[in-house]
Structure 1
Amino acid sequence: MKRIFVIIVLLVFTACSSIKFVDSWRNEEISTFKPKKLLVVGMTDNLTARKFFEEELKKSFGLHGIYAEESTNVFDKTFTKSKKSEDEVNEMIEEIADNGFDAVIISAVKGVDKKISYPSNYYSVGYRWSHFGHYYFRFQDVYYDPGYYESYKVYTVETSIYNLNEDDGKSLVWVGSLNLIDPQTISSTVKEYVAKIIKQLESEKLIEKQ
């Protein structure tokens, strides 16, 4: 019975997504999002992750009839490694607008939280918790075995879409916040993240469902 229970738990946790959608906001004045040329920007120093993310998002928008281009084909490789002044940012916006881009989607990590958990057999079948002694005996390893704890990180990532043809008060089209829970590989994390973004944009009817 215990072995069956463990298998069920493993299946449940394996099925759970490692990316959780937290919240989003959309500009109600915009009914649909159909730019002529969209610039995809991943704000990370990890060039491999940046390229993989931008290519995956470009491909997904392409399936929805939206032409997109990766920032790695527009900016130099050091683009995300140095701070820029407000004037430099404005010049950059003018430059990409002159190159025909009318919208930008940008993703960046907004924060990282370190979490600590420990494995628990609290729900083991047939075990009674009516006495303090039973509870303490069962969980004393939590306090006396440092290796019992497992640490992991949760990354809060924000994705925003801007219309370059509007003024500051109307340029923000959509913004969404997601939590990446202890990501392990770039490829699987990026694919799941992009899928979450596209699904949310579909559900909010900014882009058509495929």
Structure 2
Amino acid sequence: MRNLKTVFSISIIVSLLFGCSSVKITDSWRGLKTLDVKNKNIMVVSKTEDRSIQIRFERDLVEELQENGFTCIESHVRFPFSDPTEKVGKDKTKEVIKKLRDNNIDVVIISHLVDSKRYTTLITTGETMYLDPFPYRYRRYRSFYGYSDSYYTQYHTTEQEGVTYVLETLVYDLTLPSENQLISVITSEVDNPSKLSVTSEDFSKVIVKNLIQ
């Protein structure tokens, strides 16, 4: 009679690992070779209807900028009653810029969601089994038969859905002429975010790294 027992289990991931947030830059443009904004007052804006997300993203980006020597503040702190998602027409743009300049804001960094893409990933798991060809009492005859331990692996494939969010970060220098105020555009992707705090911190680090290059 043959005896079958599990020795260990292994997991093989065919594609992306789920449950972890991954932030990466997919495109970047800047109007100036070097962004000369370190000595200017910066306001960070996260355009979202979710107040908790806005506060978290603005706070983490401001903290990361400050750690790198920038002077900045969150929009929800400077303008606590403003709506970051409110659309501003061309006729009111000058008015908004004047208000910002009157509040000692030189540079504005605005991040917003531009797209989301769902996808399906195949995850294959394998369980390795040990096959003992003989009962325990016959183990002393192993050398007579000359066999070696036998292993085999059973594989199982499952589908798991994920989502990638595409974010755009715009940097405006309000001290420049109006036609030159947009000085940088950064497009980034957040893959399958699992926790707001982790995603926000990772996003902040990636954006600031790009800005100081």
Q: Deviations over 1:101-141 (max 9, x none)?
A: 111111011111111222236x999xxxxxxxxxxxx99x9
- Return the structure number with greater strand share: 2
- Would the alpha carbon gap of residues 124 and 189 (structure 1) be closer, same or farther in structure 2, given more than 3 Å must change? same
Task: Return the letter of the residue paired with 1:95.
Answer: K
Q: What is the aligned-residue identity percentage?
A: 25
1:45 and 2:49 are equivalent in the alignment = yes
Does residue 61 in structure 1 map to residue 65 in structure 2?
yes
Where relative contact order (Cα < 8 A, 6+ residues apart) is larger, the structure is 2
Deviations 1:158-201 (A, max 9, x none): 11211001123321222211111111111110000001111222
Q: Does 1:102 align with 2:106?
A: yes
1:113 to 113, 117, 121: 117
The whole-number CA distance in structure 2 between the counterparts of 1:166 and 1:51 is: 28
- Partner deviation per Cα, 1:17-50 (whole Å, 9 max, x = no partner): 6112211112235453324210110011111111
| CA-atom RMSD in angstroms | 3.2
Q: Which protein is bigger by CA-based radius of gyration? A: 2
Gaps of 5+ in 2: 1-6, 129-153
| 2:99 aligned with 1:86 | no
TM-score, normalization by structure 1: 0.73
Corresponding residue of 2:146: none
- Residue 128 (structure 1) aligns with: none
Inter-CA distance 77–47: structure 2 relative to 1 (3 Å threshold):
farther
Contact between 1:35 and 1:103, CA under 8 Å: does it hold in 2?
Answer: no
Give the drift of 1:83: 2.9
Matches within 5 A, 1:122-137: none
Aligned-partner Cα distance in 1 for 2:13–2:120: 19
Letter in 1 for 2:55: K
Give the number of the structure whose residues are more often helix, by fraction.
1
Work out the CA distance in 2 between the residues paired with 1:157 and 1:67. 23
- Counterpart of 1:160 in structure 2 is 170
Provide closer, same or farther for how the CA distance between residues 79 and 17 of structure 1 changes in structure 2, counting only shifts above 3 A. closer
